[in-house]
A and B are shown apart, each in its own frame.
Chain A
Amino acid sequence: MIKIFGNKATRFGFGDALVELGKTNTKIFALGADTAKSVALTNFKKMFPDRFINVGIAENNLVGIASGLAITGFIPFIATYGVFLAGRPWEQIRTSVCYSNLNVKLCGSHSGLMVGYDGATHQILEDISIMRCIPKMKVIYPCDYIETKKSIIACAYSNGPVYVRLGREDTPIFTEEDSFFEIGKANILRNGNDVAVMACGTMVYESLLAAEILAKKGIKIKVINIHTIKPIDEETIINTAKICRAVVTAEEHQLYGGFGSAVIEVLAKNCPVPVEMVGVNDRFGESGNAMDLIIKFGLKSTNIVNAVLKVLKRKK
C-alpha cells in the first residue's frame, strides 16, 4: 500500500518554500508576470513586499530583470506558467542567464496536460527538452508537494541557473519531510528486479500504483524517482539497468527530447537494455478534465503496466 499524506499541488510547495527561504535569506527575490497569484507567490509578496516585483505580461523583460538582479547579488526566483517561462524568453534564458551563468531560478508552473480545461496553448509538454539542452542549466521535476519544497530550498543554495517544473493540480503527497533529497541523486522508492520503472514528476505516483498492480501478477518492479533530469544520476540509472535489464520511462511530457530521452542517452552509451517509454507521443494536448486527459493520452498506471509487460517480453 502506498502511504498518502494528503493532496496538494506542487506549485504550493514552491510558494511555501519560498516564504521559508525569504525569512532566513534576505537575498531571495521573487518575480511574477501577472500570474503571481496562480503560481502561489501571494504570501511571499505579502511578507516581503520589498523583494517582490510583478513585471506584467512581459516574459522577455522578466528574464532580463532577473538577470540584472542576480548581477547585483540577489537570488531571483521567477515564476509563471511553464509555457510562457520556458517558451517565449528561451533565448534570454540561454544567452543572458545560462551563457553568463547567472544565479537565476526559473519555476515553470502549470506544466503538462493536467492544466486541463485551458487546453493545448497552456499545456507545456516541451519544457524539459528545451531547458535541459542549454549548458549550465539544471532541471528538476519534483514528484509531490513535499519534494517540491525541498527542491526549491536546495536550488536556492545551488549556484547557477535551475529550472523547476511545477504543476497546477492537487496531486497525492507520498514523500515525507525526512525522506532523502539531493539535487542530482535519484531515489529508489520500491525494490524489485524484474523491470526498472524510471519516472519523474506526476508519473512517479502512477509508477507506484503500477507496481501494486504488477505485484499482484507476481512481477516485481523497481520504481525510481528521478527528480533531477539534469544533471541526471547516471550511476543509479546504469546500476539499475544492469540488475533489471529492462527499463520503462514515464513522464507527463513529450517523448522527443524529454526525460525518457535523457535516460536513454545514458543507457545507450553505458548499458543498452530494452526500453519502453510512456509519455506524450508527438501531439498537442486539448481541453478537458485533468484526469480524463491523463487517461486519454495514456499516462495512467495501467499504461505503465502495459509498458512493463511489453518490455518484459523483450528482456534478454
Chain B
Amino acid sequence: MIGTEELIKISANVRKDIIKMINISGSGHPGGSLSAVELLVALYFKYINFDPKNINNPNRDYFILSKGHACPVLYSVLARFGCLNIDELYTLRKLGSRLQGHPSRNEKIPGIDVSTGSLGYGLSIGLGIAIGIKKQINRNNRIYVLMGDGEQQEGSVWEGIMSAVHYKLNNLCVIIDNNGMQIDGNTKDIMNIEPLADKYKIFGWDTFVIDGHNFDEIDKAYSQFVENAKKKQGKPTAIIAKTVKGKGISFMENVISWHGNAPSEEELKKALNEIDASITHI
C-alpha cells in the first residue's frame, strides 16, 4: 500500500503540473484544480480499480469529473497514473490537443468515459453507470463522481441525490470539493448551500465531512465507501471535503480571481518554488 509521504510527493508534482499547464495554455482553472489534488491523488493511487492498459476490464471502476473545469488536476493525475504522457499535459487547450478545455470522451483518453463541463450533469451519469452495473451479473464496479460545491446549486444535482437513495446505489460515491467559492464570489453569499452535510444525510446518504487535504481523513472516508460498496445494496456515500481553493500556492489560496486565470512566468516561478519548499522535509 502506498504511504502518505509518497502521496504528498505525487500531490506536489500534480500541483506543479497544473500551474505549468495553465501557464503554457494561457487559460484554465487553477483554483478548483488545486483544491481537489489530494482527493484525486488518494483515489487514483490507493483506491480506484483501474488499469489504463486494460480499460475494457468489466470490473474496473469509473470516475466522473462533474466539475469539468478542474480537468487540469484530472489530466495530471491520469498522466502520473500512466494514462497519458507527461509531455502531452503541455498541449492543454491547444488546437488539435486531446486535452480539451473541458474533458471530452471523444479524445479516447483512458479514464475519461464521458464529456463534462456543464455543471450538474455528472451525478446523473454516475447514477446511470451505477444502475447499469447493478443490472449486470458478476459486475461489482464502483463509481466515483467529483462535484463542486457551487455545483450543488444546480437543480439536477438534487434530482440525482434523491434517486441515488431510491435505487439504493451503495456502489456510488460522491465527493464534493467544498472550497467555498465560485466564479462570482463566496458560495455562501451567492447562493448558500449549507448545511450541506445535513441535506445529504436527510436525503439518506452515508455522509462524511472531512479535511480534503488530509490523507488520513480522506483514507477513512474512501475506506468506508469501499466497505459500503461490498454490500448487495444500501446507501450511497457522500464525502464533503472541506478544501481551500488554490491550495498549496500562497497567493492563490482563497483568492477568487484564481478561479479561471493563468499565472504569469513570474507567478509560475514563485509557485513552483513554494511547492518545492513544501516537500523539502520529506
Task: Give A contacts to B, CB under 8 Å.
Answer: 29, 50-51, 53, 55-56, 58, 60-61, 63-74, 76, 91-92, 95-96, 99-102
Contacts and interface: CB of A to CB of B under 8 A. Distances in A.
A71 B133 CA distance: 10
Given A58-B159, A60-B159, A100 B105 contact: yes
Interface string B100-119: 00001110000001111110
Nearest to A74: B132
B53 interface: no
A71 B127 contact: no
16 contacts: A50-B135, A56-B163, A58-B163, A64-B160, A65-B127, A67-B114, A68-B124, A68-B129, A69-B128, A72-B136, A74-B135, A92-B124, A95-B116, A96-B125, A100-B104, A102-B114
A101 B106 contact: yes
Interface string B113-153: 11111101101111111111101100000000000000000
Contacts of A65: 124-125, 127-128, 131, 163
Contact of B106 (A71, A92, A99): A99
Interface in B68-122: 104-106, 113-118, 120-121
The SS class assigned to the B binding surface is: helix
A95 B117 CA distance: 8
Contacts of B113: 71
A60 B155 contact: yes
Nearest to B130: A68
Interface of B: 62, 104-106, 113-118, 120-121, 123-133, 135-136, 155-156, 159-160, 162-163, 167
Nearest to A68: B128
Nearest to B123: A64
Nearest to B113: A71
B55 to A, nearest CB: 12
A69 to B, nearest CB: 5
A124 B155 CA distance: 23
Contacts of A55: 159, 163
B116 to A, nearest CB: 8
Contact of B114 (A29, A58, A96): A96
Contacts of A99: 104-106, 115
B115 A100 contact: yes
Leading 3 A-B pairs by shortest Cβ distance? A68-B128, A64-B124, A72-B132
Contact of B118 (A66, A72, A91): A91
B146 to A, nearest CB: 15
A63 to B, nearest CB: 7
B159 to A, nearest CB: 4
A64 B132 contact: no
B125 A68 contact: yes
Nearest to A99: B115
Contacts of B159: 55, 58, 60-61
A55 B123 CA distance: 14
